[in-house]
Amino acid sequence: MRKKRTSWLYLFIKFWVKLFSPVYEITGIENIPGEGCVIVGNHSHMYGPIASELYAPGEHYTWCAGEMMHASDVADYAYRDFWSGKPKAVRWFYRLLSYAITPLAVCIFNNAHTIGVYHDSRILNTFRESVNLLSGGANVVIFPEHNVPYNNIVYEFQDKFIDLARTYRQKNDRNLAFVPMYISPGLKKIIYGKPVYYTQDAPGREERARVSRELMESITSMAVSLPEHTVIPYPNMAAGNYPSSLPLEYYNEKTES
């Protein structure tokens, strides 16, 4: 297993983040297999990755935007992904902030248990490292939502990460488990659902779609099974626009009334 370099600054930051972060009640831990698996969760802004780093069980590594690991890329990526939708009058402030956070971002993302994800040929290294870690018994945590609504709980998943299962099977001769995870910062709960296994029963594209759909539906079911609460959605938006966890038919009635 790889050896991570850890700076004192990162340990200092992690101490204070943990001190002021919610203390989560964790249920469904029995649904996580003994061998390495992929844990798939709702992003919930910064809460998902922070909860993953602090509370995910066993040895675990979280996929993160590779741009956040390189000083030359942080400012442009952070502004575009986090703050470009802010009102024009204050965008200058967030542009400056994107540069100000660069040293901290590089420190955090290079010292946390992360795997950089890229949108070029380096993605092959992402897959190779992930499968090696999974084969060694570690878990990989992925937050695959992108800016396309699925329902009031999750946004649709970018599903190419599911192809990890094909390489994993070639290396280990067994099917890879994908474990759904729902994070509710408001209720201070993390729930792990029953694993979804990738099989060879259908063409790759169909199997990706099936696994992705079952994971989104499982996360939705876990959310609506909890007492009604405010869902922190994937995209940045005004807090007053955050959706309720009510089942979709009731949520639609509530928002239309």
**Residue whose entry in the numeric block shows the structure tokens 């990755």:** 49
| 196-251 residue pLDDT tens | 999 987 788 899 999 999 999 999 999 999 999 999 999 877 788 899 998 766 55
Joined together, the tokens standing for residue 55 give: 């509370």
**Angle formed at CA 223 by CA 252 and CA 114, multiple of 5 degrees:** 120
**Dihedrals φ, ψ of 86, to 5°?**
-70, 155
**Residue whose entry in the numeric block shows the structure tokens 């340990």:** 11
| 45-81 residue pLDDT tens | 889 999 989 999 899 999 999 999 999 999 999 888 8
pTM of the predicted protein model: 0.90
Residue pair 39/56 in contact by the 8 Å Cβ criterion: yes
Residue pair 4/111 in contact by the 8 Å Cβ criterion: yes
